[in-house]
Amino acid sequence: MKRYSGWTLASPGTLLVVVFLIFPVLATIATTFMTPNGIFAPYISFFGSGFRRTVLWRTIQISFITTVIALAIGFLTAYVVSRAPGWLKSILIIAAVFPLLTGVVVRSFAWMIILGKNGILNSTLVSLGLIGEPMTMLYTQGAVIVAMVYLFVPLMILTLVGVLESIPDDLIQASASLGAKPSATFRQVIFPLAVPGLIVGAVLVFTGSFTAYATPQLLGGESQMVMGTLMYQQAMVIFDWVSASTIAAIMVVITIVVVLLMTRIARRLNPMAV
């Protein structure tokens, strides 16, 4: 009886996930294989378009760069937070979480004010004499990446803090007492034990930036179109729901592949991590 009690308790939640999440996704993907032009016609049309291939590659590139930068910043910050005293740790965690209390659109508009031609950054650089005239920062790939990093670094920090806190200080002290340099301690002790948090954080950041819409639309515009904005254009502007469903299906497949790939990497780096 106890063997089935867990399934009984989980069945309502599982049913809700299947009905409201899995089934709509499968139904969306199924529509792409029911076109009169052929089963794979929407996908052939998508990958046959140079513009759409460019959009897909740009989205992957932005997501990858964002993930790498967020990993570096988030790991260093999380390590400092995890080793801080109790009262200071609470303040630092609050500071890391505080940006999440503001909506994505508001934070994106803030970056528009900062990066605009008459924005804070350009005005500061001109007043300091570092540049002669305002630079074009908005509607560039760099602007999208900077804003994405700002959006997702708090998630990376929160993911890693708990993992790094669980690493006993005795292990680090033992490594140092055995003559290991700080770099060796990081490479052989801290990093392998932090792999689970790194993988979870990387998946969250990559999938979040890969599927983002508001930030690329506001800071990238039409010149830096990504998959999310292209899907919105196909569905809500052109009303081509098959093309929009095809884009959604491709995004789902890529997301699943990335998750599986990162899980495989985690197993290679630390067989006990996953």
pLDDT at residue 5, rounded to an integer: 64
What's the pTM? Answer: 0.88
pLDDT at residue 227, rounded to an integer: 94
Decide if 119 is inside a domain: yes
Cα–Cα dist 102/215, whole Å: 14
Tokens of 124: 């500061």
Nearest 10 degrees: Cα torsion 145, 149, 150, 153? 170
pLDDT at residue 73, rounded to an integer: 94
Decide if 249 is inside a domain: yes
Query: Structurally, how many domains does the chain consist of?
Result: 1
> If phi over 0 gives left and psi between -120 and 50 gives alpha, with beta otherwise, what is residue 89?
alpha
Decide if 22 is inside a domain: no
Decide if 6 is inside a domain: no
Decide if 186 is inside a domain: yes
Choose among 61, 21, 75, 103: nearest CA to 202.
75
Decide if 114 is inside a domain: yes
Cα–Cα dist 253/41, whole Å: 17
CATH number at residue 211: 1.10.3720.10
Residue pair 149/70 in contact by the 8 Å Cβ criterion: yes
Identify the H or E element spanning 61. helix 50-82
Decide if 161 is inside a domain: yes
Give the structural domain span for 154.
42-269
pLDDT at residue 273, rounded to an integer: 47
Q: What is the DSSP letter of 211?
A: S
pLDDT at residue 100, rounded to an integer: 84
Cα–Cα dist 74/112, whole Å: 23
Decide if 19 is inside a domain: no
Kindly give the confidence (pLDDT) of every residue in the chain, 274 residues in length, as a single tens digit, with 9 standing for 90 and above: 556 566 777 788 888 888 888 888 888 888 888 888 888 899 999 999 999 999 999 999 999 999 999 999 999 999 889 888 878 888 988 888 888 888 888 999 899 999 988 888 888 888 888 888 888 888 999 999 999 999 999 999 988 998 888 887 778 778 777 777 877 887 788 888 888 888 889 999 999 999 999 999 999 988 889 999 999 999 888 888 899 999 999 999 999 999 888 888 777 766 554 4
